[in-house]
Every structure is written in C-alpha cells, then in structure tokens.
Structure 1
Amino acid sequence: MKVLLLLLAFVSAYNALPAFDELSQEGEGKTWVVLCASANTWMNYGIQSDVYHSYQLVRSHGIPDDNIIVMHYDDIATDKQNPTPGVVINEPNGTNVYEGVPKHYTGKDVTPQNFLGVLKGDDKLAKLGKKVVNSGPNDRIFVYLMDHGAEGVVMFMDTFLHAEDLNNALKEMHTNKRYSQLVFYLEACESGSMFDKLLPTDINVYAVTATKPKELGWFYYCDTKLSTCLGTYFAAMWFDDWRANDPNVEKFQQEYEFFDKHQNFTMYNQSYSQHAQQYGDLSLSKLTLAQFLGGKKSPEMTRTSNINRENIQFVSKREVAVYMLQKKIEETQDITTKLGYVKELEALLNGRLYMDNVLYEYVNSIQHLMPNIATNAILHTKQELNNRHCYRRLADSFIEHCFTLNENPYVLSKLHIFVNICEQMRDSSDADIAVNRLIQYCHQNIDRNIATNIQ
C-alpha cells in the first residue's frame, strides 16, 4: 500500500512538471521577425513586394504570426496602376505575395521612431495597442529593413533614419537584455554606411547590408509595361538561396558567400556589380537560417536559383523614373504619346538640374568657410563621413526647408555634398553658419512650383 501511495505521489509530481520540450523552448527563447518596407508609391513597388515575399517565406518556414511584425505603407495593392487590384507579385508570373500580410503599421505610422520603438519593445506603442517585440534575454530577433538610402541614412518617406540612432537602439537593446542574438539584413543604396565603423562586435548583432558604404543598389525584374520593378537584386539573391537550401543546414555565412558569388551581373553586354557586406559579430554567421527564420520545409524550397536569367532587367535604384521614361520613348509608336513621354523626361531632368543649381549656389555662398577646397570638389567628390552631428543638421535642414524628401528622392544622390561640407568645418560655429545659411538660402530662393517631383 505504501509503495502504491509513493508511486501515485511520484506520478502526480511528475505530471505537475513542465514537459521537456517546454523547458527547452523556455531556455532557448522565442524567435521574433521584424519586416519593414519604409517606401511608398508605385515606383517603389519592388521594395514593398520584397517585404511581402519575405513574410510569406518566414510564415511557410514555421514562424508564428504572433512573433512577426510587418511595417509597410500598403498602397501598391490598390494603386490605380495595378492591373490586378489586390495582387502583388515579386517576380514575373509570380504568386500573390500580398495575401494575408498583416497590417501592424501602415501609412504614416511607418516612421523611424516607430521602427526603433518596435525593436525596443516601446511601452507607449504597446499601450496604444500597437504590436512590438516583447522579447527577453533568451530570444532571437531577425530584422529586415529596406528602402532607399544614402550616406548614413535610410529614407522613411519624408524623413531619415540616421545610422547613429539605429546603432544606439541596438546597443540599448543589448544593455536591456532584449535579445540573445540579433541578425539584421538592411537593403538600401549605400547601406553599408549604416553599420560601417558604428556597429560594435561585442553586442551579439550580426548585420548584412546589400551594398558597400558608397555603392548603389539595383532593382530587379523591371517591367516597362508596368512602369516599375517587381523586386530588388539583393532580395532576389536572398530568396533564391533561402528557397534552394534546407534552412536547418544553410548557415548565414554560406548565404553571404552566395551573395558574394553573385555580386557581378551583365546587362546589355556591360558588367555591373553590387557587393553585400558583413558587420558586427561575425561569429553569428555560423548559425543556421532556421534559428532565425524558421526550419519548417516549404514547397518553395524545391525551386532552383533563377538569378542568372539573361532576360531580367536591372535598374539602379535611383534611376527607375528616368529608365522607365526612356524605355517608353523607345518603344512607343504613337507620336503624340511619345512626345508626352519626352516632355515628362525633360521635366524630370530639368528638375534635377534645378536642384543641382540650388546646391551650386549654396556651396558658393559658404565657400569662405572652406578655403582649402574648391566648389567643384565639394559637389563631385565623396569624402568619408566623420562629423556626423554637422551632417545630420544639414541633411535634415535640406529636406525640411528646401526639398521635401518623399516628393524629391533625387535628394539622396546629393547628400554627399553635405558630408564634404562638414568634413571641412573647422569648428561648431562654422557648422552653425553653414546650417543657418542653408535654411536662409532655401527660404529666399527656392521656387516651390519647381521644387517637387524631382526623382
């Protein structure tokens, strides 16, 4: 009888304990995925469609919706130029990657402040009913951010996410034990500048960027009939590697080597390139994709790589508008329609020339602050960014007082001028003069009828 009672007590105590799987999962923590496309408009179709595709892949590989946060403007599925309303594809003849995509943050809620707040688990956002990464010291986090970019910035429609803010947020998360390991994929022109010499190697963050610090990125699957590009080159490489390999076996280092292997491509018998970069704690690259993106096998894993298909059109991310108009002019037979496209292209190029002239006159007006360098060198060279405080003030003032960023994305190709100016400033008072002069010059000289839609 005593033996029976002891046996019953043992069974009762055993059943009260959590299962072994539960203990393992608790010790290993959760996996969180944050996906953000901070661009809008039909011209940037490929940016949002890449994020939609990445959502479908992480879901199919077993990451639960509760652990995924998606930020996207959400305008291309219903855009009047969309021939199939409600459908978004990421490659020619592709499936609808928009179906089922959550709308955690859309429209004007897609901001740098909210993006960083999501990562840090911001209490104010959570109290407003917004979804944030509610992570702890045992959790892993994967982040995919994409948009247009320039030296030390990623574009968020009318504003910038600055490199120092992003890296400070990651360091804060590490200090507050918000993760055990974090992997960050960042896709934008000059995206390497967001981590280069900024991301520490000792905070358990591994970052991969689509380009070098001073290199442009490329759109992929560009379609003149749709007047946009369906995706981007970096994402196409990423998805092809992801789908072709078992995520339980494929390591991030192997994926990076895949990027490196496909850094060169040919179009119209000319060679081009885009070089992915690694930053932070490179030891994390030895981890498998499954540890951050899910290990469940999906039907897409049977697909083979299609990166080297010869009929694919690449376009520099900053030249889509020009490229599309040039192709329409070439392909259109109707003279009246062709002339309409010619006028559109002339207006676009004249707008660029107008911004160029504004910057030329401005630089001339502060030349006395930079006696050791010519105006032409300020306008056309690219120096290394060190004076970040000065640069931030000039860049932010330019999009606030001179050319609205979302309406005039050509701004991104001119930010190197402010880097060059700041690297010549002898002290903070010179920087103050340069910033105040920029604001004054723009208020006095810019024609608002011209300073719009400069792409």
Structure 2
Amino acid sequence: MQSSHADVYHAYQVIKAHGIPDENIIVMHYDDLANNERNPTPGVIVNRKGGPDVYKGVPKDYTGIEVTPQNFLAILRGDEELAKAGKKVVKSGPNDRIFVYLDDHGSEGYVVFPHGNLKAHDLTDTLVAMHKENKYKELVFYLAACYAGSMFDKILPNNINAYAMSATLPDELGWFSDCSVDEPVQFAVAWLNDSEHHDLTKESIKTQYDYIAHAFTDQHAQQYGDLSIAAEHLSNYMGEKQVPSVGQYSQPANSVPIPDAPIYLAQLLLRNRELMDKQIEEYVNTLPGIEANVVLNSKLQINNKECYHKLVDTFHDKCYNLGQNSYAIQKMKVLGNICHSSDADVNTFNQLLINYCNTIVKPNTNII
C-alpha cells in the first residue's frame, strides 16, 4: 500500500526529530515508491499537499525481499544470525522501552507483508518470549491495518508489560472501508499529527489515544494489553526533544496524486475484481456440504482456526499473493466462513483450492 510507505517514512521523521538516534531506529520498507514511474516527484515522497519530503534520509535497514514477517519477528527478538550478517536488530534489556509502529494491509488475524503473512499468534508468542527473556521494561505497539484489533483482541496478555493500540476494531476495515485504495491511513494521520503538534513530555499515550479515537467516525481505534502503560508520557517511547509545529496536518485527497489517470486503468481494475469475485464463487461451489450462498454473503464466526490459516496460506501461495493483491484480502472472509464449522473438512477444502487455482489462475496474476 503506497500510503503505508509514506506513513512509515513520516513516522521515521517524527521519531528522529524528537531525538531518537538512528542507531535506535530500525526501518523496514519495500522501497518501491520513491522512484516508481507513477510517482510525479521522482525520488521524493510527500504524504500531504505542500508537505516536506518524508523519504529523505530514511534508513534502508530492510528493503525488498527482506520485508518479511519472519525478519520482523527476528528483529524484535534480537536475532543473533541477523546481527552476525550485519543487519540491525533490537538489542534491548530489562530497562529498555520499545516502540513499534507497523503499517500495512490486514485481514482477520493477519497482517499482510509484501512477502508472507504475520499471524496474530506468532506476534503474541514473540512478545511473550521477549518479556520472559527480559528483553524490555515496557513495549508499546501501534498497528495501522484493516482488522488491526484482531491481532490483539483476546490474544495479547495484560501481564507482559505490553500495550497495543490498533487502528480498527477486530472486524473493521480501515479508511473508506476499502483497504485497496492508495489513500492516507486515518490512524497514521491522527497519531503523526498529534505527535507533531504537542509536547510529548507532557502528553500521555492515553491522551493521544483519545484524540485518535475521536478524530474519525468511520473507524474505531482500540487499546489492548497492559492499559496502565497508557498513563505514561509519549516521550518515553518517541523521544523528548522539543520540535516546533510545522502547520496543521490536514487529511489530503491522495497520498501521491497521479494527474490524468487513464480511465481504462479503472475499467481494467473493475474487470479484474469482477473476475476474482467469479473465481471465488466458482471455488465455493465445488465444496461438498457447503451452503454457497451463506458462505459468500455472510460473516460467520471462524471456529476452526487451523482450517482458516491453511486456506489463507494456500490462497496466498497458489492463487494470489496477498501482499500484491489488496482486493483479495477482503475475500479472506469467505475462507473464514468456509471454516465456520469446527469439523470443517480442511484437507478436502484445501486440495480443492489448490486444484482450482492451478487450473484457473494464471501464474503471477495481479488483481490489485
């Protein structure tokens, strides 16, 4: 998502400006936006009209194929193999505070990376292990993604000194209810705006949460984990250096405007999405013992998480790369509905999905 790139770059600039040195900052980004042929300002990225270049000076600690959930978790753990390879990892101890900001696509129980998916339980297991190994005093995690709350809801313990703020409810899409739109993320707009215009040595995390929660009406930020941490000042995690205000951060119409976009691209996009809708429907109709109409048009409880995870992984590997086809993410609810029953025939459903995608979906197809 192009806007998530710009938001991450903006977050780096805010954290750096407030006094956190580069040696204490690790940045993961795919790095395909600044010099993209669709960028009207080559080599420069702005995420608001008339705003500064947020790309300038951003470290390239992990880029391209290195941007994986495995590396993300390894960085948090302070993985020795990565460190030996000369890569930056979190080197922390029992007296350190850690701030994590993750901005990408999301589905229920997942954050979608360009290469692979971060599962909620894998993230939680990593945070629990870090706490057990005294890797931090306190940890604050901001997550901007559709269904962001599902990464923490009823999963993140409240006794491991970790606090999480999610952009959305567990079952809620992000801004505009369409996570495929390259628009600025409301959550990022809110917390970055607030951090740029207030004294972080005086403002608490809870105050920022309240601001974010009331800034927009079409998505709903949430808090999870150890909520007592929210009473702390933001400066404990984002730096305490005073920064002059840079003007009101208004929500722009486009993250990177593209003038005179040819209409046929929009028509192609619509046709591709209609094709995916048809393919999903055809697959569902091949499943034995499934009420296709219910599965395609409802939102059911996922009672068989093993089934859901297996189908999502197969869809990602065999059908459409979720990191490159954001529209497909919205279709994961259908796979969740298939796994509504605790005794769902996961092996049969999975094999039928493999067979269908091998037969119908062209390799490396992108719907967007």
- TM-score, structure 1 length as denominator? 0.76
Partner of 2:79: 122
Q: Does 1:239 align with 2:192?
A: yes
Letter in 2 for 1:297: Q
Q: Counterparts of 1:390 and 1:424 in 2: how far apart (Å)?
A: 9
Q: Does 1:262 align with 2:262?
A: no
Q: Counterparts of 1:72 and 1:405 in 2: how far apart (Å)?
A: 17
Q: Does 1:144 align with 2:101?
A: yes
Q: Counterparts of 1:438 and 1:241 in 2: how far apart (Å)?
A: 45
Q: Counterparts of 1:408 and 1:303 in 2: how far apart (Å)?
A: 35
Q: Secondary structure at the match of 2:38?
A: coil
Per the TM alignment, residue 84 of structure 1 is displaced from its structure 2 partner at its CA by 2.4
Residues 91, 387 of structure 1: alpha-carbon distance in 2 compared, 3 angstrom cutoff: same
Per the TM alignment, residue 98 of structure 1 is displaced from its structure 2 partner at its CA by 1.2
Partner of 2:358: 443
Picking from 256, 278, 303, the partner of 2:223 is 278
Per the TM alignment, residue 165 of structure 1 is displaced from its structure 2 partner at its CA by 0.9
Letter in 1 for 2:350: V
Trace 1:178-193 onto structure 2 (pairs within 5 A).
178-193=135-150
Partner of 1:198: 155
Q: Counterparts of 1:408 and 1:293 in 2: how far apart (Å)?
A: 33
Letter in 1 for 2:366: N
5+ unaligned residues in a row in structure 2: which ranges?
Answer: none
For residues 271-322 of structure 1, the C-alpha deviation after alignment (integer angstroms, 9 at most, x for no partner) is xx111111111111001100011011012xx245444x7xx4379xxxx9xx
Q: Counterparts of 2:224 and 2:203 in 1: how far apart (Å)?
A: 19
For residues 185-233 of structure 1, the C-alpha deviation after alignment (integer angstroms, 9 at most, x for no partner) is 00011111111111111111100011111212128xxxxxxx954x321
User: Looking at both structures, which has the greater relative contact order when contacts are Cα pairs under 8 Å and sequence separation is at least 6?
Assistant: 2
Q: Secondary structure at the match of 1:143?
A: strand
Q: Does 1:172 align with 2:125?
A: no
Partner of 2:253: 313
Greater strand share, structure number: 1
Residues 188, 137 of structure 1: alpha-carbon distance in 2 compared, 3 angstrom cutoff: same
Q: Secondary structure at the match of 2:89?
A: coil
Letter in 1 for 2:265: E
Residues 93, 304 of structure 1: alpha-carbon distance in 2 compared, 3 angstrom cutoff: closer
Trace 1:374-393 onto structure 2 (pairs within 5 A).
374-393=291-310
Q: Counterparts of 1:119 and 1:254 in 2: how far apart (Å)?
A: 27
Partner of 1:359: 280
Letter in 1 for 2:198: N
Per the TM alignment, residue 411 of structure 1 is displaced from its structure 2 partner at its CA by 1.1
Letter in 2 for 1:253: K
Q: Does 1:401 align with 2:341?
A: no
Letter in 2 for 1:214: D
Q: Counterparts of 1:80 and 1:152 in 2: how far apart (Å)?
A: 33
Per the TM alignment, residue 347 of structure 1 is displaced from its structure 2 partner at its CA by 2.3
Picking from 31, 39, 46, the partner of 1:82 is 39
Trace 1:41-80 onto structure 2 (pairs within 5 A).
44-80=1-37
Per the TM alignment, residue 407 of structure 1 is displaced from its structure 2 partner at its CA by 3.8
Residues 361, 127 of structure 1: alpha-carbon distance in 2 compared, 3 angstrom cutoff: same
For residues 350-382 of structure 1, the C-alpha deviation after alignment (integer angstroms, 9 at most, x for no partner) is 2212211222122122142x4xxx311111222
State the identity as a percent. 46
Picking from 306, 315, 329, the partner of 1:412 is 329
Q: Counterparts of 1:314 and 1:81 in 2: how far apart (Å)?
A: 13
Picking from 343, 352, 359, the partner of 1:426 is 343
Q: Secondary structure at the match of 1:174?
A: helix
CA contact (8 A) 1:367 1:375 kept: no
Q: Counterparts of 1:101 and 1:346 in 2: how far apart (Å)?
A: 36
Picking from 201, 223, 236, the partner of 1:248 is 201
Q: Counterparts of 2:45 and 2:224 in 1: how far apart (Å)?
A: 32
Q: Counterparts of 2:152 and 2:134 in 1: how far apart (Å)?
A: 21
Q: Counterparts of 1:448 and 1:409 in 2: how far apart (Å)?
A: 17
Q: Counterparts of 1:46 and 1:365 in 2: how far apart (Å)?
A: 37
Q: Counterparts of 2:165 and 2:361 in 1: how far apart (Å)?
A: 41
Q: Secondary structure at the match of 2:26?
A: strand
Q: Secondary structure at the match of 2:223?
A: strand
CA contact (8 A) 1:241 1:305 kept: no
Per the TM alignment, residue 146 of structure 1 is displaced from its structure 2 partner at its CA by 0.6
Matched residue count: 364
Coordinate RMSD, CA, aligned: 2.2
Q: Counterparts of 1:58 and 1:407 in 2: how far apart (Å)?
A: 29
Letter in 2 for 1:61: H
Picking from 103, 111, 119, the partner of 1:162 is 119
Partner of 1:332: none
Larger Rg: 1
Q: Counterparts of 1:228 and 1:217 in 2: how far apart (Å)?
A: 12
For residues 43-71 of structure 1, the C-alpha deviation after alignment (integer angstroms, 9 at most, x for no partner) is x3321111111111111111111111111
